[in-house]
Amino acid sequence: MSPERGTPEVRRWLAEPLPRDVERALERLARAEDVARIAVLPDVHLASGVCIGTVVATRTLLYPDAVGGDIGCGMAALRFELDATALADAGVAARLLRGLADAVPAIRHPRATARERLPSCLGDSPLSDATLEKLKSRDGRVEFATLGRGNHFVELQADEQGWLWLMLHSGSRAMGQAIRAAHLRRARASSIGLPYLDAATAEGQAYLADLSWACAYAERSREAMARRVAEVIHAVLDAGDDPASWIACHHNHVRRETHLGEELWVHRKGAVPAGEGVPGIIPGSMGSPSFHTLGRGCPGALASSSHGAGRALSRGEAFRNISAGELAREMQGVWFDRRLAARLRDEAPSAYKDIGRVLRAQRDLTRVVRRLRPLLSYKGG
């Protein structure tokens, strides 16, 4: 028997009125069994199953669609011992873009050189079925420490003091998607059609174990990519990094947490943990500022914040309405591979919400500690 439905508390932090399709999706989610609390963040936008920018708390049930397929997707940041004006030179920028493309492939490493890329802590940890194990030994190895496409990026930025920073956004690649799909096949359908697993069952525990593996995969992958970016910076600019400056967070997961005196399964889909004093990273777009933050631990938001600006246009709408020339105009002052402009139209700054408005809407969720402006953006296209 699934738990009885109640009326969940729904709290909202909005930068603008909700589109009707997002409103309907949230109303539907609130009718799902065992949903106790929902927090809607200012970067919310429509996605399959559960909107991105939503936090869902349950007591006993797990909803894989409230995490999404890119399990463990998140951010990392690292400061270099270098004045950011070093990137003012076009020749330097071109060498960096070439170096990043070689060091951090978008899709996969050549199989001949990828045999030992998966760390033993991941390779030796079993997944819940043979199909996932086979995928781990195949795609998991060649995709580890690769960036992915869409909104995943390597960006070099300048802080207000003029220091050079790396910001990196990536996830669990094919592994997270496969883990989600495998467990959705074992799930039951709720009254609204949203599949769920009971955390107390063997199926629920298997999902949690595989999800934990995918989060570790994504985190280790970001660390490996950051090391390779640091090698490129050292080779091109002869600069080292400051290990103490490292910041990391992820924004697609479910975990057991206590809020308002109750133990809950907190699902975050495009939401950063923002407990009191917890560091966070909130990017804008490839042409707008990004921010390092500290959480304020807001109980009503389930100690969470937005994970970025959030899309203003769907990818299809952006491709239909934004030209390659418009993207280039919006990216004035930021180095990027202009040969990819036609393929990056869905990532144009105008396809995203205003990051300033998003941050103002969540002033009681996070405190900004650092503002960074983009200098160079590398994406897979």
Tokens at 381, concatenated: 């296209």
**Among candidates 52, 48, 59, which has minimal Cα distance to 8?**
59
- Show the tokens assigned to 344: 């990056």
In sequence order, which ranges of the chain are alpha helices (DSSP H)? 20-30, 90-103, 120-123, 130-135, 141-143, 173-184, 202-237, 315-321, 324-330, 355-361
Burial track 19-40 (b if 16+ CB lie within 10 A, e otherwise): eeebeebbeebbebbbbbbbbb
Stated length of the chain: 381
> How, if at all, do strands 262-269 and 52-58 pair?
antiparallel
In which residue are the tokens 């995709």 written?
143
Report the catalytic residues: 307
Rounded Cα distance, 335 and 109, in Å: 25
Helix/strand/coil for 333: coil
| 365, two tokens | 């969720």
Q: CA-to-CA distance for 352 and 340, rounded, in angstroms?
A: 19
Concatenating the DSSP letter of every residue in 304-332 gives EEESSS-BSS-HHHHHHH--HHHHHHHTT
Q: Which of 166, 136, 138 shows the shortest CA–CA distance to 242? A: 166
Strand 9-12 to 35-45 pairing: parallel
**What phi and psi values does residue 341 have, to the nearest 5 degrees?**
-55, -40
How far lies 81's CA from each of 10, 96, 150, 370, in Å?
Answer: 45, 16, 30, 17
Grouping H, G, I as helix, E, B as strand and the rest as coil, residue 13 is coil
What stretch of H or E contains 107?
Answer: none
